[in-house]
Amino acid sequence: MATTTTTVPSAGPVAGSRSFLSRLREGDEIARLITFLFAASVVLVTLLLVFELWQGSVLPRHKFGFNFFRTSVWDPIFEQFGALPFIYGTLVTAAVSLLIAVPLGIGAAIFLAELAPAKLSDTLEFFIDLLAAVPSVIYGLLGVFIVVPLMREYIQPGLKHSLGFLPLFQGPAYGVGFLTAGIVLAIMVIPYIISVSREVLLSVPRDQREAALSLGATRWESTWKVVVPFARTGIFGSIFLALARALGETMAVTMVIGNTPAISASLFSPGYSIAAVIANEFTEATGDLYLQSLIELGLVLFLLTFILNGLARLLILATSQRGSEMSNV
Amino acid sequence: MSNRLRWRKFVSNFMLTMTGVCAVVAVSVLFFILGYLVFHGGTSVSWNFFTKLPAPVGETGGGMANAILGSAKLLLLASLIGVPIGFFGAIYLAEFSGSTTAFIVRYAADLLNGVPSIVIGIFAYSLVVLPFKHFSTLAGGFALGLMMIPITLRSTEEFLRSVPNALREAAMALGASKWKTIASVIVPAAYRGILTAVLLAFARVAGETAPLLFTAFGNRFWSPGWNQPTASLPVMIFTYAIAPYDDWHRQAWAAGLVLLGLILVINIVARAILSRGIAVPRS
Amino acid sequence: MKRITGMLLVVLALAGVMWADNALSINGAGATFPYPIYSKWFDEYHKKNANLQINYQSIGSGGGIKQLTEGTVDFGASDAIMNEDQLKAFQDKHGFGILHFPTVLGAVVPTYNIPDVSAELNFTQDALAGIFLGKITKWNDPAIADANKGVNLPANDIVVVHRAEASGTSYIWTDYLSKISEEWKSKVGKGAAVNWPVGLGGKGSEGVAGLIKQTPNSFGYVELIYAIQNKMPYGRVKNSSGAFIKADLASVTAAASGAAKNMPDDFRVSITDAPGTTAYPVSSFTWLLVPAKFSDATKRDAIKGFVKWMLADGQNYTEALSYARLPKEVVAKELTALNKIQ
């Protein structure tokens, strides 16, 4: 057959081979410029956001320094602002939510990845993704009218009765508090754990399972002792993702946490989280120090979620790469 | 069969059943939420709800007509901001950019995506509300639009990248310029995925409350134009839910049902579009 | 492409439609204390003036003062009189001052939700201070029980509820507590947002009422109408003459009678723990905060028109919502003060 050599121009503009004007006339340069502007605006707006947070918190940073994170007094009248109760509340509710969501989530992910036939797995995953789409305020609505009364009437008294010797479960049963917020958060973050863990479990190469089974392991043993450890880093990634979501949650938490800046060993105690205090007090913070202290709290939250999200992404990436590397061996 | 083997088999069956239980629990939460909202909200979703303005405090018979329109305006504005930036930015990333610029832009988008929504509210307050000296639909739409950008950007980029190179090369060989290739070949090929991305981003911000608290603020009346505060469904749900009036509670349930219904329908439609398959078979 | 341009045109057309609206929109924000009557007033006033919408958001008195100072709302509302620092901050920022206009008289009542107890409880000054300081923790504490012989108070823990955000209602309550308790005055002080020794935080009077309604053994303070509208029991408070007084129109008006005759020109006055045998001790005026100067003449006239209406016809709506009317002397004084707005 006749061979014709044609040089196909490469994907990007080839430097120097066509004049700028001709490229301009062709419209490519304009297209490149316009799309570049849009892409650049993303970077600009993000930088601006970080800058505003930093600038907007200059007063408390200078006045309190690192003591901001060590004091627990939040007194707008005497202008004393300490972030400790809010950091404590944010961390405690997130921890409680993970304690509940992680076992449930990983268990469900194992079922979906290992046991369920593909169609069932996909259908259930579809519903789980829908759960992730439910807005926070609706969880708050359900929290106020279902979870809080349930906690107050049955769960908290029950826990006090059986485990009341632990300082965790002491104190009056208000219904609102750390434990309630943790439970509502758990429901909110389970979908993230399930969908990401399911994906990393599915990416574990088949030969790992088959090798374990051929050595005489039961289904469970092959799953728990071989597949899950293989996907361990990815699963941790999903947990970090869930944690980042739990830390930034505002509406559902502020409706069920009790809105009291308190540090207490008891999970029944009402508390406060960073996002909740900003939501409640931002529009009325008179005085620059007050307002900027709230902004500094926002900055802290931003940094926390930023670090966690970054770690999560690295871990998940590492697992999928590992899986694909091993499959190619 | 030895005892030890019997025990291991038992553990295996038991644990695997437990995982099934976990999955059932997780999925049933969704149905419980839906069911409860339908049960409580269904009876309150009345003609009044969709057509009347809120009544004075303590009186019954009010509705959320202004909140529904307010949410629609906010989402429209958010889409006008979020979709073009995400779409064109993604085109830049997929077709034009070098790898360092791409890395920076993607990193910024991921950063933006991870910002807690209340912090976005703070940002929009300082940037739009204070200079204009107005709480406004504009500020609320801006905050929501910011949240839409990363989702549209990353998903659109992925779908653009998934269009096979053969198409690009074929268009080039026919003499089409770069932008013509993008406009007439690549984007149409990826349009299903892009539409899905936009719909999912839309559904995500439709339910956001926190960023609206100090941007769109609230309004008992219709909000004229774009520079005035406006009511919105999520904020009304929040305000009514924590109040003591039973009538307000009923309205909060109704609003919750409407909002969740809308979001779920968008999600289902988006996924249905996507599962119909990519327009062109992968090479 | 054609589809997209088509959609864009539709969008712009809609935008145009939504923009073309000749209703003048005035925004205000602030106290939840008078929210029931303000929402009624603004609704009625809108019915009489279809081209004027006064949009009021009850975010708390602190919020009203703050947003007014920032300039994001046209007027504010507060039950906490602006202090010197706040007035100065506004003056420095805008170059002119703020005028306080009393609108109604209201009462802050102690409301509670005790299982099986629907009686009106009597609260002494020590009881109220003690509960909010966290020193009295059970309902059957002698400090409470002694004033309520014949009522079977349970030995349950009191769940204290207060406002989570900066609130004029909190200001009135803490102002009263500071007057009757030295310990409260030195430990906590009076203010819209204080460092509460105990209790859960509810958002807005609505949030506090909601929390109390749903939480057994709870105790908090709300404006009178919130307790009435939600059929919550509220107690009597011991006044400066030693009598246990229930909050109602007569007792609140009695509390204001002294102040009415000696009203300062700027209307900033506190009437908590007022003298008088029938006075309800936790009464207060609530104020509209109006800037002394408006750059927009239509807005200025609209607000002045509303205040005039409020001082005349508006006062007829007060009693139905359990607020007391402004004394005649105060109304007359306010009408003259209206001329100060430029």
Are B18 and B10 in contact by the 8 Å Cβ rule? The answer is no
More confident: B65 or C10: B65
Mean pLDDT of the region C331-341: 89
Residues of chain B with C-beta less than 8 angstroms from the C-beta of A124: 23, 27
CA distance A167 to A160: 10
Are B106 and B94 in contact by the 8 Å Cβ rule? The answer is no
Cα C208–Cα A87–Cα A139 angle in degrees, nearest 5: 50
Q: Is the pLDDT of residue C326 over 50?
A: yes
Count of the separate structural domains present in chain A: 2
Give the closest-approach CA distance of A309 to chain B in angstroms.
7
Q: What is the pLDDT of residue B232?
A: 94
Among B111, B204, B249, the residue with its CB nearest the CB of A46 is B111
Q: What is the pLDDT of residue C135?
A: 93
Q: What is the pLDDT of residue B279?
A: 45
Among A138, A140, A218, the residue with its CB nearest the CB of B8 is A218
- B101 Rama sector, left if φ>0, alpha if ψ -120 to 50, beta otherwise: alpha
pLDDT tens-place string over residues B93-149: 988 888 888 888 988 998 898 899 999 999 999 899 989 888 999 999 999 999 999
| Sequential DSSP letters for C140-193 | T-HHHHGGGTT----SPBPEEEEESS--HHHHHHHHHHHHH-HHHHHHT--SSS
Q: Check if A130 contacts B (Cβ < 8 Å).
A: yes
Q: Check if A72 contacts C (Cβ < 8 Å).
A: no
Please say whether the dihedral angle defined by the alpha carbons of residues C313, C314, C315 and C321, taken in this order, is positive or negative: positive
CA distance A227 to C327: 80
Q: Are residues A86 and A185 in the same domain?
A: yes
pLDDT tens-place string over residues B198-240: 998 999 899 999 999 989 988 989 888 888 999 999 999 998 8
Q: What is the pLDDT of residue A25?
A: 61
On whether residue A1 sits in a domain, the answer given is no
pLDDT tens-place string over residues A70-128: 888 888 777 888 899 999 999 999 999 999 999 999 999 999 998 889 899 988 988 88
CB atoms within 10 A of CB B170: 14
Mean pLDDT of the region A269-295: 88
Rounded to two decimals, the ipTM of the complex is: 0.85
Q: Is the pLDDT of residue B282 over 50?
A: no
Residue where one domain finishes, among candidates A56, A75, A90: A56
User: Which residue from A99, A240, A239, A76 is spatially nearest to A178, judged by alpha carbons?
Assistant: A99
Q: Are residues A217 and A84 in the same domain?
A: yes
User: Which residue from C283, C284, C303 is spatially nearest to C292, judged by alpha carbons?
Assistant: C303
Mean pLDDT of the region B52-69: 86
Place of tokens 């950091």: A87
Residues of chain A with C-beta less than 8 angstroms from the C-beta of C201: 258-260, 270, 272, 280
Q: Are residues A130 and A48 in the same domain?
A: no
Q: What is the pLDDT of residue B281?
A: 40
pLDDT tens-place string over residues A233-268: 888 888 988 888 888 889 999 889 988 888 888 898
Mean pLDDT of the region C201-219: 86
CA distance A217 to A222: 6
Residue C20 banded pLDDT, cuts 50, 70, 90: very low
Structure tokens at B44: 């309150």
Structure tokens at B20: 């099934």
Element (H, E) at C55: strand C52-58
B267 to B1, B260, B273: CA distances (angstroms): 51, 10, 10
On whether residue A304 sits in a domain, the answer given is yes
Q: Check if A152 contacts C (Cβ < 8 Å).
A: yes
Mean pLDDT (chain A) is 85
The residues, ordered by sequence, that sit 6+ positions from C313 with a Cβ below 8 Å of its Cβ are none
Amino acid identity at A54: W
Q: Are residues A50 and A161 in the same domain?
A: no
Structure tokens at A121: 């797995």
On whether residue A5 sits in a domain, the answer given is no
Q: Are residues A76 and A214 in the same domain?
A: yes
CA distance C323 to C247: 10
Q: Do C195 and A176 touch (CB under 8 A)?
A: no
pLDDT tens-place string over residues C225-280: 889 888 899 999 999 889 999 998 899 999 888 788 888 888 888 888 888 889 99
Residue where one domain finishes, among candidates A37, A56, A75: A56
Are C28 and B218 in contact by the 8 Å Cβ rule? The answer is no
Q: Are residues A189 and A82 in the same domain?
A: yes
pLDDT tens-place string over residues A113-136: 988 898 999 889 888 888 888 999
Q: Which of residues 203-262 of A touch B (CB under 8 A)?
A: 218-221, 223-224, 244, 247-251, 255
Q: What is the pLDDT of residue B277?
A: 55
CA distance A177 to A182: 9
Q: Which of residues 45-64 of A touch B (CB under 8 A)?
A: 45-49, 52-53, 56
Angle between helices B137-161 and B65-91 (to 10 degrees): 40
Q: What is the pLDDT of residue A329?
A: 52
Coil, helix or strand for C284?
A: strand
B275 to A122, A126, A192, B278, C318: CA distances (angstroms): 12, 12, 21, 8, 61
Are A182 and A195 in contact by the 8 Å Cβ rule? The answer is no
On whether residue A260 sits in a domain, the answer given is yes
Q: What is the pLDDT of residue C172?
A: 93
Backbone torsions φ then ψ of C98, nearest 5 degrees = -120, 140
On whether residue A194 sits in a domain, the answer given is yes
Residues of chain A with C-beta less than 8 angstroms from the C-beta of C86: 286
- Can you give the three-state secondary structure of chain A, one letter per residue? CCCCCCCCCCCCCCCCCCCHHHHHHHCHHHHHHHHHHHHHHHHHHHHHHHHHHHHCCHHHHHHHHHHHHCCCCEECCCCEECCHHHHHHHHHHHHHHHHHHHHHHHHHHHHHHHHCCHHHHHHHHHHHHHHHHCCHHHHHHHHHHHHHHHHHHHHHHHHHHHHCCCHHHCCCCCCCCHHHHHHHHHHHHHHHHHHHHHHHHHCCCHHHHHHHHHCCCCHHHHHHHHHHHHCHHHHHHHHHHHHHHHHHCCHHHHHHCCCCCCCCCCCCCCCCCHHHHHHHHHHHCCCHHHHHHHHHHHHHHHHHHHHHHHHHHHHHHHHHHHHHHHHHC
Mean pLDDT of the region B7-21: 90
Q: Is the pLDDT of residue C2 over 60?
A: no
Q: What is the pLDDT of residue A8?
A: 53
Total CB pairs under 8 A between chain A and C: 80
CA distance C182 to C133: 12
Q: Is the pLDDT of residue C21 over 70?
A: no
Best mutation target, A79, A281, A283, to test chain C (most C CBs within 10 A): A283
Q: At A93, which CATH number? A: 1.10.3720.10
Q: Which residue range forms the structural domain that includes residue A75?
A: 61-328
Q: Is the pLDDT of residue B24 over 60?
A: yes
Q: Are residues A230 and A296 in the same domain?
A: yes
CA distance C320 to B194: 57
Mean pLDDT (chain C) is 88
- B212 Rama sector, left if φ>0, alpha if ψ -120 to 50, beta otherwise: alpha
Residues of chain A with C-beta less than 8 angstroms from the C-beta of B199: none
Q: Are residues A259 and A153 in the same domain?
A: yes
Give the closest-approach CA distance of C254 to chain A in angstroms.
32
CA distance B126 to B106: 25
Residues of chain A with C-beta less than 8 angstroms from the C-beta of C191: 76-77
On whether residue A8 sits in a domain, the answer given is no
pLDDT tens-place string over residues C33-65: 899 999 999 999 999 998 899 999 988 888 899
Q: Is the pLDDT of residue C224 over 80?
A: yes
Beta bridge partners of A189: none
Q: What is the pLDDT of residue A167?
A: 84
On whether residue A2 sits in a domain, the answer given is no
Q: Check if A175 contacts B (Cβ < 8 Å).
A: no
Q: Are residues A85 and A197 in the same domain?
A: yes
Q: Are residues A69 and A39 in the same domain?
A: no
Q: Are residues A166 and A18 in the same domain?
A: no
Residue A275 banded pLDDT, cuts 50, 70, 90: very high
Q: Is the pLDDT of residue C7 over 80?
A: no
Q: Are residues A52 and A120 in the same domain?
A: no
Q: For chain B, list the contacting chains (3+ Cβ pairs, <8 Å).
A: A, C
The reported pTM is: 0.86
Most distant CA atoms of chain C, gap in Å: 82
Q: What is the pLDDT of residue B147?
A: 94
C-alpha C137: how far from chain center = 27
Radius of gyration, CA atoms only, chain C: 22
Q: Is the pLDDT of residue B59 over 50?
A: yes
Coil, helix or strand for C222?
A: strand
Q: Is the pLDDT of residue A17 over 60?
A: no
pLDDT tens-place string over residues A217-241: 888 888 888 888 888 888 888 898 8
Residue A16 banded pLDDT, cuts 50, 70, 90: low
On whether residue A7 sits in a domain, the answer given is no
Are B208 and B117 in contact by the 8 Å Cβ rule? The answer is yes
